[in-house]
Amino acid sequence: MTPKNNLLIGIIIALLVVASYNIGANPIEFVEGLPNLAIIVDEMTEVEPSLFITAFWSMFETIQMAFIGTLIGITISLPLSMFAARNLYSKYVYVPIRAILAAIRTFPSILWAILFVIMVGLGPFAGVLAIIMYTVGFVAKLQYEAIETIDSDPMDAVKSIGVSKWQLIRYVVLPESAPHLLSQILYMFEYNVRQTSILGLVGAGGIGFYIINYIKFFEYGKAVVFMLVVLFVVLVIDWVSVKIRDKYIVKSQHGIEVTTQSHP
Amino acid sequence: MELLQITNSPSFPLISTKKIIQMNNVYTSYDSKNYALKEISLSIDRGTIYVIVGQSGSGKSTLLKLMNGMMTPSKGTVKIDYQTPDMNNKKFKLMMHKIGYIPQSLGLIKNITVLENTLIGALPRLGKIQSLFKIFPEEEIIEAKKILKQVGLEGKEYRKIYMLSGGERRRVAIARALMQKPTLLLADEIVSELDSVTAREIMNLIVDAQKTMNLTAIMVHHDMQLALEYANRVAVIKEGEKILEIGVEGDKIVDFQTGNLTSDEIMEMYSVDT
């Protein structure tokens, strides 16, 4: 440990204390509040199994919203990510595109949902629009970063044939970045399912609408049914995406390893 | 090869009206102070095999990139088939279609098949809609399969690149270049890291293609022995400068040009490179 490091750690701790004081963080309140948690947990054990069917139907709606949002969002973000990649277009193209994407990302999806509820009214459609915006901002960024890390050799080799930019994108950029894209689609879908569960809080449809209403009326036993369904579905999606990742992405990573071998 | 026959007197000045590459006093630099290449002048005859030999970092890969227009010199002139390289010039772009370039790492696309990688060489002949939807005309697919057979990859057309060995990958890279129906083939260290049997198989493939398609093959190697065995002319690059150029016919050295090197220095260099 150098004195410089000690000083740095000291500064970070001081900032933590000052910030905690400023926001009124009080550990005593936390400890005193624990019995309240016990009451909620106790009420949650009074599960109402009859609601499971409603819960699964509303979860199905949530999944459909997430599916549409992810698919349309990725479709829009794909061309945008090409225009935002520094190794494909000049700064006159990528700088404005990146600025737009950064602006889209500044709003969390719940703010987009509020905006779209005002625009198109309560219901799942507003939620879908919010998911699309969030997906575009996020996936386009991840994807242009993936494009920029593509090995420059296949690009140079194909560019030297004198092909057009669109041919370069179609035959080098897309296949080379495909494993990243697949990984992002899976992650985004999973993330969007969780997100869409929340969007109901502002009236944008899905399972969150039920959860927030039951919590508002202190019916924790009913709310927990919906929460369990969210937990179950997210775990299933996670498990499926791990399988898909193993099948398609790990294999191509393995391919990259083999490239470095000098001979058979 | 009896290298001791070498004398310091240049004997056969080559006369050719058909030059594919002409470089005059070329310098390239990555920054304003350090030159990767210095004072390079050379001319390469159409329909020959020209090998550039040098150790790693000598600037030989840079030299190759000047020959397909991927790099431009900071000083001096480069002419490819009497044209100044300019990637924005339509006429030069047409010429690029006919230059097969194989970078050291081969530049293959790992997630697609051998056949698809080969068909990339046919892209300049494909229309916009066809290339967007990957619709290759039947005759191009037949041609690609024919070339793959020629390079010894018959039956492996539908394998993905990551399933292939090092030697097989080089064959795919050659097939892609040949698919361009090239007049000029540039290969950067294509046999490095291969065992000598595979290396010679790969070299023979290039020599066969050079003969049957009457193309010019320009290759970069670090193995002097292999260069002398296959090339019509060999240039040696050291620290960005051309220090030696040898013309070879069969196992005879027919032309020999050096800077101010003594024969001892040449021999020393030869032993280092082998």
Contacts of B201 in chain A (CB under 8 A): none
Q: What is the pLDDT of residues B45-99, one digit of tens each?
A: 999 999 999 888 888 888 999 998 888 899 899 999 888 988 888 888 888 999 9
Contacts of B263 (CB under 8 A, 6+ apart): B6, B8
Q: What is the pLDDT of residue B258?
A: 67
Q: What is the pLDDT of residues B98-115, one digit of tens each?
A: 999 999 999 999 888 999
Contacts of A177 in chain B (CB under 8 A): none
Say whether A153 and B126 touch across the interface (CB within 8 A).
no
Rounded mean pLDDT, B130-159: 92
- What is the percent of chain B where pLDDT is above 90? 41
Instruction: Choose the closest CB to B120 out of A153, A171, A252.
Output: A171
Give the count of beta carbons closer than 10 Å to the beta carbon of residue B267: 14
Q: What is the pLDDT of residue B87?
A: 82
Q: What is the pLDDT of residue A261?
A: 37
Instruction: Choose the closest CB to B124 out of A156, A163, A251.
Output: A163
Lowest average pLDDT, out of A201-205, B118-122, B214-218, goes to A201-205
Q: What is the pLDDT of residue B223?
A: 83
Q: How far apart are CA B138 and CA B146, in angstroms?
A: 12
Q: What is the pLDDT of residue B269?
A: 59
Contacts of B161 in chain A (CB under 8 A): 255
With cut-offs at 50, 70 and 90, classify the pLDDT of residue B271: low
For the whole model, what pTM was predicted?
0.76
HSE (side-chain half, CA atoms, 13 Å) at B135: 6
Let me know: does B100 contact B180? Beta carbons within 8 Å. yes
Let me know: does B44 contact B19? Beta carbons within 8 Å. yes
β B216-221/B184-188 pair status: parallel
Which residue does chain A place closest to B95, by CA atoms?
A162
Instruction: Choose the closest CB to A261 out of B87, B134, B166.
Output: B166
Count, residues in chain B: 274
Say whether A252 and B198 touch across the interface (CB within 8 A).
no
Contacts of B193 (CB under 8 A, 6+ apart): A262, A263, B166
CB interface of A with B, residues 134-173, below 8 Å: 151, 153-164, 166-167, 170-172
Q: What is the pLDDT of residue A143?
A: 93
Q: What is the pLDDT of residues A6-23, one digit of tens each?
A: 999 999 999 999 999 999
Q: What is the pLDDT of residues A201-246, one digit of tens each?
A: 787 778 888 888 888 888 888 889 999 999 999 899 989 988 888 8
With cut-offs at 50, 70 and 90, classify the pLDDT of residue A118: very high
Closest CA to A85 of A176, A172, A135, A146: A146
Contacts of B85 in chain A (CB under 8 A): none
ipTM comes to 0.80
